[in-house]
Structure 1
Amino acid sequence: MAEQAPASTKKIPLATIQQAIGQSQFAQAIDMCNHQLAQNPAPGEHIQLWYMLAVAQRLNKQPEHALETLHQLLELQPDHGRAFQEKGYCLRSMGQTREAAAAFYQATRFNPALISAWQQLLSQYQASGNRDALQLATQHLKHLQGLPRPVLGAYDLMYEGQLYKAEQVCRQFLQQHKHHFEAMLLLAELGIRMKVYHDAEFLLESCTTLYPQDERGQIAYQSLLLKLGKYPQAVSLARQRLQGNPDNLSALTALAEGLSGTGELTEAVAIYQQLLDINPDKPGLWLALGHLHKSSGALEAAISAYMKAAEYQPDLGDAYWSLANTKTYRFTDPLLEKMQQLEAEPNTGLTDRIHLCFALGKAYEDKTEYQQSFAFYQRGNRLQKSTLDFDIRRTEKALHTQQQVCDRTLFEMDYGHPATDPIFIVGLPRAGSTLLEQILSSHSQIDGTMELHDILGIASELAGQKDGYPHNLHRLSDTQCRALGQRYLDQTRAYRQGGRFFIDKMPNNFVHIGLIKKILPNARIIDARRDPLACCFSGYKQLFGDGQEFSYDLQDIGRYYKAYEQLMNHWHQVLPGQILTVQHESVLDDLEGQVRRLLTFIGVEFEAQCLEFYNTRRAIKTPSSEQVRQPIYQSGRHQYKAYTAYLTPLFEVLGQAPPQH
């Protein structure tokens, strides 16, 4: 007879519940799971409890109850691969073969290391005669079965979000099997997911050196270089790969993306067009071509490319979001109805659903149907946040550490490279930094570039060294500071066009102003500031390509804004007169006055073309690309006011009262 769950509030270890399941004590395991779930377990632990509860219910021949539990779990974490695998088992036991196959397919999308789910799909593909799918599934299953068990286990842990456990298993394996290709590749992917980019880059570079014939290592290295904005290196690697195989599709697309990053847009467009002429059924390439056209200002061509992407893959959510993200495109009613149907379709992929939600939010905003608009923005943000391992408390702690460590004594010694040419525009996303860059890059002596990753890369590298970052900034010698400053100048030279000054518009560099001033003491720093409500809500409406994890929750984004303000106040105290704060609303109200103020701070003469910034032709990759190609306008100033009824959490965090109508 199964032992009854204890009536006390004493915590039951997860291992005890797992043991009960392993010993076929399913009813007892169910009771223990329910008991623990009633105790308000910590985030992360409750996910494991829901999962174990579903497993125990299925094995206890209660598939209907298990499906209800899995529904709860997938509401909390919609990318939980093992939950979809369990769903497949439940549906199969209930005779719902087709629905089970769909669930197993979703399981392999979110966790490609699930051998059992692949085996289930294999049986389904054999029964249905789907030869192409069968071949792909067979190849992937063979690859998984050929992996060493610890490596396969580490992959499984990674896909289920247990990154630190996966890293531990992988490192232990590499201690016994040094330079094992699969383990090195996995450890690099873990480094990317954990944002330890310097280590990941070293591992992948080592992979390409040790295993030059393995295409997967080259593709992974190429992808990371592009992600880090190291476009010249990415271009060089792509050309090297093409020497041996001029028709290599992944190398050609990587070359086009790299060229778009270095500003060589004509060649990049030609590559995409050549590939699409050969085979137009490539929605991903149409999407990339659209992004390229959008960055260069060819909006009609961009829209046409996005529409082609949707034509070839109707459920490609990114195609619709890309249309919405032009900020000027307006969806027709039939297309809007189609998007809603796709978003409601159970088999629509999670990433596609997220993109569709943000696109629908923008579409209904344009129709001034704000309740419907906010419902989609809120759903998209909730889904996106559920895929991220983000805790605002970690970010607040990191920003507070910068204040504690980077005091006045850090800047007492005259260290660093004496270069005067870098101009850093920092702040929060959607705060007006793209407008400031467009204004300044209209000046004859100032080069606009893009959001450069180089300072973030140096900070990441320092984080892996003795004492950790930012504490080890105090240990840097003048020689080291000069060398880091020179390295930054060398790495960014490829993005310049010969101007006396150049702009680095990475917003997140506000965190690293201490590092910047340590290695480049004469760099100009401009803080792009915007009304907190307008800035925060604009960020909440935006689905970012990467990073900005704080922006998918109203409370998180409000707390981030406050932490940013506190850190900027600190920088002003320890670096008096060295940072210029430019309020976005002031630029809207007094363009010429603020432009003159900016140019005086930089040390260049006033030029009238800075007032006609919208005529300056250059590649712009941020969401504001089309907005800064127009004269100053006021319509975006108070967009949040239409959503006041839904923004209570943001008002509370910022300590502001809702505006009175």
Structure 2
Amino acid sequence: MGKHIPKSRLDQQDAHLELRKAFAQASDLFQRGYLKEADQLCLRMLKKLPGLPDIIHFRGVIACQSGEPKRGVKLIAEAVAADPNNADYRVNLGNAYREIGLREEAIRHFRTALRLRQDMPELHNSLGVLYKENDEFSLAELEFREAIRLKPHFPHAQYNLAQLYLSQGDKGKALEQLQAAIRSDPVYTDAYLAMARIYKDMSIAEKAYPLYQELVTNNPGDWSVMMEYAVVLQQMGRIEESLGIARKAYDQAPGDNENACIAIGNALQLAGKHEEALIYFRKALEINPNALSVYGAIASSRKFTGSEVEIAEIKRSLECQNLDEKTRSALHFALGKVYNDCRLYDDAFRHYLEGNGLRRQLAPYASEETEVHFTRLINFFNKDFFTDRSYSGLNSDLPIFILGMPRSGTSLTEQIISSHPQVFGAGELGDFARIRAHLTHLAGENASFPESILQLSSDILTAVTNRFLKNLRDLAPDAKHITDKMPHNFLNLGLIAYLLPNAKIIHCKRNPLDNCLSIFFQNFEAEHPYKSDLHDLGLYYRQYHRLMAHWHEVLPSRIFDLQYEDLVENQEAVSRKLIEFCGLDWNDACLDFHKSERAVRTASQWQVRQPIYKTSTDQWRRYEKHIAPLIHTLCSLTESF
């Protein structure tokens, strides 16, 4: 909250006209930035009229503005002692205490000011900021909301409330408040940037893109925003354009900037240029040895032999005492990957276990909730639902949905299909998770999925589905089919089949032990809370298996099961069946999928650039002595392997 410059009470006292003019002159000097001159003028006034609280308070405000908040506290406190019921004094004393880090004192004086004068929305906003800094989120929300109640078009309070929701992980509410802030102030750059970052972090590139495009156009010298824009372009598969933007940001960054190097390295990695990407990742570490997140990218970009210098660097980094849990976890995963490459399986498992343990602290998991949710889907999307359907859906066969557990071969499958000249591989879109949430929102305040879809008219369902198809078509106007390889769409399969009865559905399967162990070894960008404990991971897999068995029962002949081990054993025969299921003529490019130039955004982006090798099966046996909880949980599902 800004400093208050109260009207001088000199005009309310029997003082000389000369002093009243002097106070006005001091205020003018202050406003124009002549702080030293304003303070000297105040001192001259105090010689003529000692102890006047207004002037003492004003000197305190000047001290704070001059970078001397401790002196400011002393002076303003003297004014408060002389006039304890002056709200302006209390506000500025609170501001001064906040500047020296005494938040509780600041809150106390802000509260007193509000008792003296209620109608101060800016002060409620400042209180909200203080409570947020104190991690008192409920109180912070109350203050921000009171500020907005008193001043409905208050963009700063709306922005701060959005940041509060964002810190609590509620991106939906954060977006609502950012939209309100922009309605209050259509040129509020910080709100646009915050919204763009949320969409970027959620990988909703189609919404992030126009926001970043506008931000970069209006702020061409902001290299940090330019780098974020490059990430969004990567999400859209526009790799060459992303590289150009990242290089431009690198050129504009003050001195060498590791973040620009990382952005370029990521773009090169997505394009399959792993050796060139390594050059930029290493350069980032040369610039800033503490840019430890780079090691994860380095570990995933190559196969290690044991002689690489990065191994010692990662081990040395883990010895640092001041690492946050997320960074320490990422380093353990990187070292696990390195040791696995070097066939040091005991060491690898130890680090994977450490990394997962830290991730588990960040994202706890309750297996009972998963079982309840999956059972609810099974009970709702039953045979009668699809037999007696009240909505016929749209006839489009544009999308091909590739789904299954993560690390089950979805990326490989998409790479094979999208190597066909009539197919565009869109990667992991996540559209149907958003459609599910949107339909539930449209159904009303107390609605919940999946029951919510029965409360909506055919017109609404058609409009939402058409919007999805339009967004999909915009990605590749000339493609016959476009793939969406979001693995967890197996949760949305009932909705997909309801809205798009002609869409192709490919279910990727893998040896459950290999599949789960690969998940356990992966440091995913998004949270997968079930994966950080072997027993929980096994329980989740069993629920997934139960749900997929149900989909096969209620959607007979709709789903093509692609067994990873069969593909490895007989690549051409299985690939031909896959392409035939998609309604396409065979093309030999589908056998040379690893030569495709398309961008690949996946945890397995290095692997899908390689030909298929049989060594990728039965990997769990190397870790058999370490994974008893997983083997026990999955025993009834692994008999055929």
Name the TM-score, length of structure 2 as normaliser. 0.75
Residues 487/639 of structure 1: CA separation in 2 closer, same or farther (3 Å cut): same
Letter in 1 for 2:291: L
- Which residue in 2 is equivalent to 1:72? none
Matches within 5 A, 1:498-513: 498-513=478-493
**Partners of 2:338 and 2:311 in 1: how far apart?**
8
**Shift of residue 596 of structure 1?**
2.1
**Shift of residue 424 of structure 1?**
0.5
- Which residue in 1 is equivalent to 2:457? 477
Letter in 2 for 1:381: N
Q: Does 1:304 align with 2:282?
A: no
Residues 200/495 of structure 1: CA separation in 2 closer, same or farther (3 Å cut): farther
Residues 313/397 of structure 1: CA separation in 2 closer, same or farther (3 Å cut): farther
Residues 281/422 of structure 1: CA separation in 2 closer, same or farther (3 Å cut): same
**Partners of 1:330 and 1:439 in 2: how far apart?**
29
**Partners of 1:179 and 1:579 in 2: how far apart?**
51
- Which residue in 1 is equivalent to 2:381? 406
Contact 1:204 1:221 in 2 (8 A): yes
Task: Tell me which of 336, 349, 372 is aligned to 2:347.
Answer: 372
**Shift of residue 543 of structure 1?**
0.4
Letter in 1 for 2:429: L
Residues 117/589 of structure 1: CA separation in 2 closer, same or farther (3 Å cut): farther
- Which residue in 2 is equivalent to 1:243? 217
- Which residue in 2 is equivalent to 1:38? none
- Which residue in 2 is equivalent to 1:100? none
Q: Does 1:417 align with 2:402?
A: no
- Which residue in 1 is equivalent to 2:435? 458
**Partners of 1:453 and 1:195 in 2: how far apart?**
18
**Shift of residue 237 of structure 1?**
1.5
User: 5+ unaligned residues in a row in structure 1: which ranges?
Assistant: 1-114, 122-143
Which string of whole-angstrom CA distances, capped at 9 and with x for unpartnered residues, describes residues 525-571 of structure 1? 11111111101110111101113222222122111111111111111
Contact 2:520 2:531 in 1 (8 A): yes
Count, aligned residues: 519
**Partners of 1:379 and 1:145 in 2: how far apart?**
46
Task: Give the secondary-structure state (helix, strand or coil) at the position aligned to 1:582.
Answer: strand
Matches within 5 A, 1:311-460: 311-330=286-305, 332=307, 334-411=309-386, 412-413=388-389, 414-460=391-437
Cα RMSD, aligned residues only: 2.9
- Which residue in 2 is equivalent to 1:119? 101
Contact 2:285 2:294 in 1 (8 A): yes
**Partners of 2:314 and 2:628 in 1: how far apart?**
29
Mean CA deviation greater in 267-276 or 428-437: 267-276
- Which residue in 2 is equivalent to 1:643? 623
**Shift of residue 521 of structure 1?**
1.6
**Partners of 2:284 and 2:326 in 1: how far apart?**
16
Matches within 5 A, 1:139-288: 147-150=125-128, 152-154=130-132, 156-157=134-135, 178=152, 180-185=154-159, 187-189=161-163, 197-279=171-253, 281-288=256-263
Contact 2:377 2:450 in 1 (8 A): yes
- Which residue in 2 is equivalent to 1:130? none
**Shift of residue 492 of structure 1?**
2.2
Residues 377/300 of structure 1: CA separation in 2 closer, same or farther (3 Å cut): same
Residues 399/168 of structure 1: CA separation in 2 closer, same or farther (3 Å cut): farther
Residues 145/285 of structure 1: CA separation in 2 closer, same or farther (3 Å cut): farther
Task: Tell me which of 487, 512, 535 is aligned to 1:555.
Answer: 535
Contact 1:447 1:497 in 2 (8 A): no
Mean CA deviation greater in 448-457 or 414-423: 414-423
Matches within 5 A, 1:4-43: none
Residues 215/530 of structure 1: CA separation in 2 closer, same or farther (3 Å cut): same
Which string of whole-angstrom CA distances, capped at 9 and with x for unpartnered residues, describes residues 124-174 of structure 1? xxxxxxxxxxxxxxxxxxxx999443454356548xxx8x99878866775
Matches within 5 A, 1:560-579: 560-579=540-559
Task: Tell me which of 608, 616, 626 is aligned to 2:596.
Answer: 616
**Partners of 2:487 and 2:637 in 1: how far apart?**
28
**Partners of 1:410 and 1:174 in 2: how far apart?**
45
**Partners of 1:260 and 1:266 in 2: how far apart?**
9
Task: Give the secondary-structure state (helix, strand or coil) at the position aligned to 1:581.
Answer: strand
**Shift of residue 227 of structure 1?**
2.4
- Which residue in 1 is equivalent to 2:575? 595
Letter in 2 for 1:434: S
- Which residue in 2 is equivalent to 1:105? none
**Partners of 2:321 and 2:409 in 1: how far apart?**
38
Letter in 2 for 1:601: F
**Shift of residue 350 of structure 1?**
2.7
Task: Give the secondary-structure state (helix, strand or coil) at the position aligned to 1:222.
Answer: helix
Residues 535/156 of structure 1: CA separation in 2 closer, same or farther (3 Å cut): farther
**Partners of 2:340 and 2:145 in 1: how far apart?**
49
Task: Give the secondary-structure state (helix, strand or coil) at the position aligned to 1:510.
Answer: helix
- Which residue in 1 is equivalent to 2:585? 605
Q: Does 1:514 align with 2:488?
A: no
- Which residue in 2 is equivalent to 1:532? 512
User: 5+ unaligned residues in a row in structure 2: which ranges?
Assistant: 1-96, 104-121
Task: Give the secondary-structure state (helix, strand or coil) at the position aligned to 1:119.
Answer: coil
Task: Give the secondary-structure state (helix, strand or coil) at the position aligned to 1:655.
Answer: helix
**Shift of residue 391 of structure 1?**
2.6
**Shift of residue 331 of structure 1?**
5.7
Contact 1:361 1:372 in 2 (8 A): yes
Which string of whole-angstrom CA distances, capped at 9 and with x for unpartnered residues, describes residues 446-484 of structure 1? 111110021111112234343211111222332222112
Which string of whole-angstrom CA distances, capped at 9 and with x for unpartnered residues, describes residues 551-609 of structure 1? 22212211111111111111111211111111111111121221122122221222222
Residues 342/490 of structure 1: CA separation in 2 closer, same or farther (3 Å cut): same
What's the % identity of the aligned pairs?
29
**Shift of residue 295 of structure 1?**
0.7
Task: Give the secondary-structure state (helix, strand or coil) at the position aligned to 1:544.
Answer: coil
**Shift of residue 351 of structure 1?**
2.6
Name the TM-score, length of structure 1 as normaliser. 0.73
- Which residue in 2 is equivalent to 1:490? 470
**Shift of residue 302 of structure 1?**
1.0
Task: Give the secondary-structure state (helix, strand or coil) at the position aligned to 1:401.
Answer: helix
Residues 531/247 of structure 1: CA separation in 2 closer, same or farther (3 Å cut): same
Task: Give the secondary-structure state (helix, strand or coil) at the position aligned to 1:216.
Answer: helix
**Partners of 1:342 and 1:183 in 2: how far apart?**
40
Task: Tell me which of 597, 605, 609 is aligned to 1:625.
Answer: 605
Contact 2:367 2:539 in 1 (8 A): yes
